[in-house]
Chains A and B, each alone.
Chain A
Amino acid sequence: MPMLDHIWILPLLPLAGAALNGLLGRRWPREMVNFCGVGSVTLAFAAALEVAREFFLLAPGQIPLVKSFWPWIAAGQFHVDFSFFIDQLTLVMLLVVTGVGLLIHIYSTGYMAHEGGYYRFFSYMNLFMFFMLTLVTAGSLAQLLVGWEGVGLCSYLLISFFFTKKSAADAGKKAFITTRIGDLGFMIGILLIFWTFHSLNFTEIFAGVASFPVETPGHLGVMTWICLLLFAGAVGKSAQLPLYVWLPDAMEGPTPVSALIHAATMVTAGVYMVARMNFLYVHAPVALLTVDVIGAVTAFYAATIALVQTDIKKVLAYSTISQLGYMFLGCGVGAFSAGIFHLMTHAFFKGLLFMAAGSVIHAMGGEQDMRNMGGLARKIPWTYGTMLAATLAITGMPFFSGFFSKDAILEAAASGPNPNRVLWALGLGGALLTSFYMFRLLFLTFHGERRYDDHSVHVHESPASMVIPLVILAILSVGGGWFALPKLEGGANYFFRFLSPVFHASDELAASGRGVEPMAVGTTLAAGIAHALWQPAVGVALLGFLIAWWFYIARSNAPRRLAESLHGAYTLLLNKYYVDKIYGSLVIRPLLWISTNVLWHGVDESVIDGAVNGSAKTVQSTGKQLVEMESGNVRSYATWVVIGATAFTSLLLWRLGR
């Protein structure tokens, strides 16, 4: 097991790439930067594949495999090693992160070719890969936190990559600070875990949790608090209500960053964390209910905002928030594997959507407003084809990847271990909206009349370095669902079976608690229910397509008339429910006021500056008075000498006399 025994090499590969490019890349030609930046991720992907190969050779008893290397922190009873925790969930995340990451790195070599700071971009991207791999392979919460904060740092660095642009710099700060609010809860949750279990290692936490009872709504205890606090971190990191506001602004970053960090990997860290801590969550049904309510509401809410956005990347940003909501909905209703499955397919199709959108922007010479596009399908056929595949996948058209994963979640919401009809309806409504806004994006961008100036914009297909990753991801988006073959009657349900050891205890506990059978694997009853429930999901996807077609192809002036007749609702959506303004006046303005008047003028200027300047002034005035002694007059010196000698002698005599 050469790779599993030295798994620590895996995250260090991109770190080496980041260090080389960051320290030396400034003077290197572009090819050398590419070699280091893409090469290190290629090696990481190869290593991840080797990990997968060796993983399948392990005996079932050896999983989860925990590898401890060297001690990191040892203080009293607090002991943390650099350790790695490898189970099925880790493996899925490893392959998704390195695989999608590699494709996006390749894509970036084409997309960023004409931008300044090329080496810096790749250095940050590799650093991100390092932290993300640290996050998913971590064997303890302390190490997970390192990755967690590290990806946040890289997100900040990459959002404000064009740091001379004020909006980009502001968006970076907003992302960093907003996620930090959630991270406060996350860190308190981690401390609470240490306080409860006296360890931060996953193995010890999971072993210890068994002795805790399931906390029913009447008897809330430490488990519920831990889970809610951890979820606060996930809400910030995965851009859920009410901390989602940073993600749309994060679109200021270069498009490959949006694809890698703000669609495929980093924002799903919250989902991963919740799934990783599933042992804890099943002990806290109230926390789980919070997770799925927030997930379902976010899924629907963000989708409504996406309906009226005109910036192609903003639509995708709200779509990402919405899809992350689905993942939390899946986790919250107890179908963790469905949530992770959607995480994986989402990484494929949303990464692809962002990259295709980037290809469109590239073709249009930087234009992002869909109102200035139209009719691009024939000009950039490869981009169109891949975007179409991704759109079909995300809307859940039958047999595309999103069909399997989203339906698995909706089905779990309806009949899983923790069913909730209201949330199921919300999710279904979100699916309808998703289908509408995605086809709206597709029609506005690629179909209809040309709405740009043909003379000033020379539409051109992107280079091969961008198109090839698009095609690979398109294949995955189309076929990714077949990894699972979920509950199609008689389906093998590979993905769920593969992940079932990770979520086994949760499934069993959920079942024993409620008398519902665990994530039924292909039983006829479940298949029957599932069959009944697919119809609405597929139906709403088709309905959304038809509405979008009617609005944007058949009756192209219909959207304007609808906007006029529903003016209030339209304005509300266009202004994103005024959430940014509400946060501005409720949180940011008071904070700024306190910072300015109390902390700045009060504490800083009066107390701290007062103390520093005051002591300086005292010394200065004392010095000014003492300088008078230095008159240059020998007789006055002599007088001081006499006074001093007299004083000293008297003191001496007085002391001796006693």
Chain B
Amino acid sequence: MNGVPISYYLALSGILFGLGVVAFVFKRNIITILMSIELMLNAVNLAFVAFSRALGQFDGLIFVLFVIVVAAAEAVVGLAIVLQVARNRRSLNIEDVDQMKS
């Protein structure tokens, strides 16, 4: 049980989440953006697992399972949308998808 302290896991989780956020905001490719979302989700998962282990409770693990399920569903729907966008616009640039403005 001794070994790596929890703060290391949390720092790694924070770094991963921050990378995800930065990628989400700055990247233009839709698939990359989807990937950055997955990165953020998994950063959170890491934090959950780390807390679960540190506190000796199963709640975190169960949350992680849910998050994985949601992430899978999201990937399915997201990729389907991406496919349609790519077909209709012949582009994967997020800046071409701005028709919903006021």
Contacts and interface: CB of A to CB of B under 8 A. Distances in A.
Interface stretch (B3-11, B63-71, B91-99): B91-99
Contact of A631 (B21, B26, B98): B98
Contacts of A631: 98, 101
B101 A635 contact: no
Interface string A513-533: 000000000000000000000
B1 interface: no
Interface string B76-102: 000000000000000000110111111
Interface in A601-636: 627, 630-635
B65 to A, nearest CB: 24
A634 B94 contact: yes
B51 interface: no
B55 interface: no
Contact of B25 (A630, A632, A639): A639
B101 A632 contact: yes
B48 interface: no
Interface residues on B, range: 10 to 19
Q: Which of A630, A633, A634 has the most CB of B within 10 A?
A: A634
Given A635-B25, A639-B25, A630 B102 contact: yes
A652 interface: no
Contact of A638 (B25, B28, B97): B25
B98 A632 contact: yes
A630 B99 CA distance: 11
B98 A633 contact: yes
B91 to A, nearest CB: 14
Contacts of B21: 642
B23 to A, nearest CB: 10
Nearest to B28: A635
Contacts, number: 28
Nearest to B95: A633
Contacts of B98: 631-634
A451 B86 CA distance: 100
Contacts of B101: 630-633
A631 B99 CA distance: 9
A220 to B, nearest CB: 74
Interface residues of A, number: 10
Given A639-B25, A642-B21, A642-B25, A634 B97 contact: yes
A647 to B, nearest CB: 14
Contacts of B24: 635, 638
Contacts of B33: 634
Interface in A338-377: none
B94 A632 contact: no
A635 B30 CA distance: 11
Interface string B30-43: 00010000000000
A634 B30 CA distance: 10
A633 B30 CA distance: 12
A335 to B, nearest CB: 84
Contacts of A635: 24-26, 28, 94-95
A642 B40 CA distance: 13
Nearest to B27: A635
A639 B23 CA distance: 11
A634 B92 CA distance: 13
A639 B99 CA distance: 18
Interface string A629-656: 0111111001100100000000000000
B13 to A, nearest CB: 15
Q: Which of B33, B97, B99, B101 has the most CB of A within 10 A?
A: B101
A638 B94 CA distance: 12
A643 to B, nearest CB: 10
Nearest to B99: A632
Nearest to A630: B102
A627 B25 contact: no
Contacts of B99: 632
Nearest to B97: A634
A638 B98 CA distance: 13
Contacts of A630: 101-102
Nearest to B102: A630
A241 B21 CA distance: 89
Q: Which of A638, A639, A642 has the most CB of B within 10 A?
A: A638
A344 B33 CA distance: 100
A639 B94 CA distance: 14
Contacts of B100: 632
Interface string B12-28: 00000000010011101
A62 to B, nearest CB: 82
A334 B24 CA distance: 100
Contacts of B97: 634
Contacts of A627: 102
A373 B30 CA distance: 100
A638 B26 CA distance: 10
A638 B32 CA distance: 14
A311 B81 CA distance: 90
A631 B94 CA distance: 13
Contacts of A633: 94-95, 98, 101
Nearest to B30: A634
Q: Lowest 5 A-B CB distances belong to which pairs?
A: A632-B101, A632-B98, A630-B102, A633-B98, A632-B100
Interface of A: 627, 630-635, 638-639, 642
13 contacts: A627-B102, A631-B98, A631-B101, A632-B98, A632-B99, A633-B95, A634-B33, A634-B94, A634-B97, A635-B28, A635-B95, A639-B25, A642-B21
Given A631-B101, A633-B95, A635-B95, 14 more contacts: A627-B102, A632-B98, A632-B99, A632-B100, A633-B94, A633-B98, A634-B94, A634-B97, A635-B24, A635-B25, A635-B28, A635-B94, A638-B25, A639-B25
